[in-house]
C-alpha cells in the first residue's frame, strides 16, 4: 500500500517539497483520461506530415506532371528525333526469317569458341559471318553462325572445315560431321514473312485506333494515339541503336507492349474523365489541375503494374540469356522490357499533359481558367471563399455559393428557385447572413453542432421568393485551435 508521500504512487502523483512547511505535499499527476488530452493527441497525429510513399499511395504526391509539360515534351521530342535518325541511318538487324540467309550450328567441342568458329567459317566460304553467338546451355549448348544465303557448295565446304577443325560430337557422343547443323531461308520466303509482319502490325494499329476513337472523346483519343506511336518509335530506335536482331519473336513482343501501353493510358484517362466530369460547374480548379490530380491518383498504380510486369520479364530474360541461351526467348523478353518502361513513362508524362495542351487552346477551357483565376483573386481579397460557378453569368459566386435548385453546393450553399430573381443588394444580404451563420455556429434556438436548415423570406425578393440556407455542423474549438472551416 502506498502513502501520499510514496514516490511510487500508482496514480502518478509526485512528492514535492513545500518551502513554507517542513513536510511534503503531493502534486497530482496528469489526467490522461481527460477528453482534452485525447483531442490533443488526435490533433498531433493529424498534423504529423505524411511520408513520401504514404502520399504516393494516397494520391497526394502533388507532383506537377501537367505544370512541367513543356519539359516533358522537350525530352520526348529529343528522344523521338534521335530514334528516327538512328532508324534511318543504321536500319535494323533483321534475322534470316525476314531477309533470308544461312544458319549453321557447331557443338563447342575441342576448344571451339565464337572467335575460332567465325574465323574458320570465313576461311572456308569467303563470306563474313553476320553474327556468332552461343545458344543453349549444358549438353544442348551450340555455337550459332548466321550469314547471307550460301550455295550448297559453300555449305559443304563450311561443314568440312568446321569438322576438321573441331571434331564435334553428336548427342550420342560420336564424332561425326552430322553434329554440324545448317538451315537456309531463301530471300523470297524472307520477303514474304516481312510483308506479313508489316500487314499484321498495320492491322493491329488500325484496330487500336478504332477502339480508342470509340472509347474516348477526340482529344483523349489523339493523346493516346500519339503516346502509342511514341512507344513504337522509341522501342524501334533502341533496337536499331543497340543492334538487336529483329525476329518474329520481336514482332510478337512489340504487339504485346503496345497493348500494355494502351492499357496504362486507359487507366489514367478513366480517372481524368471522372475528375473532370463537372469541371465547368465549379470555380475551385481548372481542367489542367484536375488532370494533374488524376495522374497523381493513378501514378502509384501505374508504377506497381509496371513493376509486377517487369519482374517476370526480367526473369525470362535471365533464363533466356544466362541459363538457356535461347535466342527466341531473349528477343521476346528484350522488346517487352523496353516497351513496358517506355509505355509507363509515356502514359504518365506524355498522354495526360498532351491532353491538357489540346484543351487549353479551346475557348471554353480558356474562359473557365479565367473564371477560376478571378474567383481566386476575389477570395484572396477577402470577398469570400471559392464556390460553385455563378449561373447568372461569367461572375463566380462570392461568399456562399449560389446555384440552381437541386445542384449541390459547397460550404454554406444557397439554393435558389429557378424562377427567382434577386437584386444585388439582396444577394449580398443573404451572403452576409450565411457568413455570420458559419462564424457563430448557431442560429436562434438551434443547438450547436447540429445541421440547421431555415426557410426565410428575404426582403426585396420578387414575389417574396423563399431561400433555403443549409449550414454544416458547428464543431467547438479545441485547445489546439482547430475548428471547422469550409473545405475541411
Per residue in 314-329, pLDDT (tens digit) is: 887 777 666 665 566 7
* C-alpha span between 89 and 226 (Å, rounded): 23
pLDDT band at 131 (very low <50, low <70, confident <90, very high): confident
Cell numbers at 21, concatenated: 512547511
User: In which residue are the cell numbers 572467335 written?
Assistant: 115
* C-alpha span between 456 and 430 (Å, rounded): 10
Say if residue 181's pLDDT is above 50.
yes
Phi, psi of 390, rounded to the nearest 5 degrees: -75, 125
pTM over 0.75: no
Which position has the higher pLDDT, 367 or 448?
Answer: 367
Counting residues of the chain whose pLDDT is more than 90, the rounded percentage is: 16
What is residue 93's predicted lDDT score, i.e. its pLDDT?
79
Of the CA atoms within 13 Å of residue 402, those in its CB half-sphere come to 25
pLDDT band at 308 (very low <50, low <70, confident <90, very high): confident
What is residue 415's predicted lDDT score, i.e. its pLDDT?
40
Closest CA to 99 of 248, 280, 230: 248
| Overall average pLDDT of the 340-355 stretch | 92
Counting residues of the chain whose pLDDT is more than 70, the rounded percentage is: 63
Cell numbers at 234, concatenated: 522509341
Mean per-residue pLDDT over the chain, rounded:
72
Phi, psi of 449, rounded to the nearest 5 degrees: 95, -10
Say if residue 83's pLDDT is above 90.
yes
Say if residue 84's pLDDT is above 50.
yes
Angle between helix 248-275 and helix 327-346 axes, rounded to 10 deg: 20
Cell numbers at 306, concatenated: 509496371
DSSP, collapsed to helix, strand or coil, labels residue 389 as: coil
User: In which residue are the cell numbers 484572396 written?
Assistant: 380
What is residue 234's predicted lDDT score, i.e. its pLDDT?
93
Domains plus CATH for the chain? 101-185 (3.30.70), 190-375 (1.20.1640.10)
Phi, psi of 175, rounded to the nearest 5 degrees: -75, 115
Secondary structure letter of residue 474 according to DSSP:
P
What is residue 147's predicted lDDT score, i.e. its pLDDT?
86
What is residue 103's predicted lDDT score, i.e. its pLDDT?
87
* C-alpha span between 115 and 126 (Å, rounded): 16
Say if residue 466's pLDDT is above 50.
no
Beta bridge partners of 182: 104
**446, 471 contact by CB (below 8 A):** no
In SS3 terms, 278-333 reads as CHHHECCCCHHHHHHHHHHHHHHHHHHHHHHHHHHHHHHHHHHHHHHCCHHHHHHH
pLDDT band at 224 (very low <50, low <70, confident <90, very high): very high
Pairing of β 452-457 and β 466-471 = antiparallel
pLDDT tens digit sequence for 382-396: 765 555 554 344 443
* C-alpha span between 196 and 311 (Å, rounded): 32
pLDDT band at 431 (very low <50, low <70, confident <90, very high): very low
Closest CA to 340 of 305, 386, 367: 305
* C-alpha span between 333 and 391 (Å, rounded): 56
What is residue 433's predicted lDDT score, i.e. its pLDDT?
40
pLDDT band at 81 (very low <50, low <70, confident <90, very high): very high
**363, 275 contact by CB (below 8 A):** no
Amino acid at each position: 500500500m502506498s502513502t501520499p508521500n510514496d514516490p511510487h504512487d500508482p496514480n502518478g502523483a509526485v512528492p514535492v517539497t513545500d518551502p513554507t512547511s517542513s513536510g511534503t505535499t503531493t502534486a497530482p499527476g496528469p489526467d490522461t483520461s481527460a477528453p482534452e488530452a485525447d483531442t490533443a493527441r488526435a490533433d498531433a497525429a493529424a498534423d504529423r506530415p505524411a511520408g513520401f510513399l504514404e502520399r504516393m499511395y494516397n494520391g497526394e504526391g502533388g507532383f506537377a506532371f501537367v505544370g512541367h509539360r513543356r519539359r516533358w515534351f522537350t525530352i520526348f521530342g529529343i528522344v523521338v528525333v534521335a530514334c528516327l535518325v538512328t532508324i534511318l541511318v543504321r536500319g535494323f538487324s533483321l534475322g534470316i526469317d525476314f531477309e533470308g540467309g544461312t544458319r549453321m550450328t557447331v557443338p563447342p567441342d575441342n576448344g571451339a569458341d565464337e572467335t575460332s568458329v567465325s574465323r574458320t567459317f570465313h576461311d572456308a566460304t569467303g563470306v563474313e559471318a553476320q553474327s556468332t553467338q552461343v545458344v543453349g546451355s549444358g549438353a544442348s549448348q551450340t555455337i550459332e553462325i548466321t550469314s547471307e544465303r550460301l550455295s550448297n557448295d559453300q555449305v559443304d565446304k563450311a561443314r568440312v572445315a568446321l569438322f576438321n577443325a573441331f571434331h564435334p560430337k553428336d548427342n550420342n557422343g560420336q564424332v561425326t560431321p552430322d553434329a554440324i547443323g545448317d538451315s537456309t531461308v531463301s530471300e523470297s520466303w524472307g520477303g514474304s514473312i516481312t510483308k506479313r509482319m508489316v500487314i499484321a502490325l498495320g492491322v493491329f494499329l488500325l484496330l487500336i485506333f478504332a477502339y480508342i476513337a470509340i472509347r474516348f472523346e477526340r482529344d483523349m483519343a489523339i493523346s493516346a494515339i500519339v503516346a502509342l506511336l511514341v512507344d513504337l518509335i522509341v522501342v524501334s530506335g533502341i533496337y536499331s541503336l543497340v543492334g538487336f536482331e529483329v525476329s518474329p519473336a520481336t514482332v510478337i513482343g512489340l504487339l504485346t507492349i503496345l497493348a500494355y501501353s494502351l492499357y496504362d493510358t486507359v487507366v489514367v484517362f478513366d480517372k481524368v474523365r471522372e475528375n473532370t466530369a463537372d469541371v465547368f460547374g465549379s470555380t475551385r480548379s481548372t481542367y489542367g489541375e484536375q488532370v494533374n490530380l488524376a495522374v497523381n491518383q493513378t501514378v502509384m498504380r501505374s508504377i506497381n503494374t509496371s513493376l509486377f510486369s517487369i519482374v517476370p520479364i526480367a526473369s525470362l530474360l535471365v533464363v533466356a540469356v544466362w541459363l538457356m541461351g535461347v535466342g527466341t526467348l531473349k528477343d521476346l523478353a528484350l522488346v517487352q522490357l523496353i516497351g513496358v518502361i517506355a509505355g509507363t513513362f509515356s502514359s504518365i508524362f506524355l498522354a495526360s499533359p498532351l491532353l491538357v495542351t489540346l484543351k487549353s487552346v479551346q475557348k471554353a477551357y480558356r474562359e473557365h481558367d479565367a473564371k477560376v483565376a478571378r474567383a481566386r483573386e476575389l477570395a484572396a481579397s477577402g470577398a469570400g471563399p471559392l464556390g460553385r460557378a455563378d449561373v447568372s453569368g461569367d461572375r463566380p459566386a462570392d461568399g456562399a455559393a449560389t446555384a440552381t435548385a437541386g445542384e449541390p453546393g459547397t460550404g454554406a450553399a444557397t439554393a435558389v428557385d429557378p424562377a427567382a430573381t434577386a437584386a444585388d443588394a439582396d444577394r449580398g444580404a443573404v451572403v452576409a447572413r450565411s457568413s455570420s451563420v458559419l462564424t457563430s455556429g448557431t442560429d436562434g434556438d438551434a443547438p450547436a453542432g447540429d445541421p440547421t436548415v431555415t426557410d426565410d423570406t428575404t426582403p426585396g425578393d420578387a414575389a417574396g421568393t423563399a431561400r433555403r440556407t443549409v449550414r454544416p455542423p458547428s464543431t467547438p474549438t479545441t485547445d489546439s485551435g482547430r475548428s471547422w472551416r469550409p473545405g475541411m
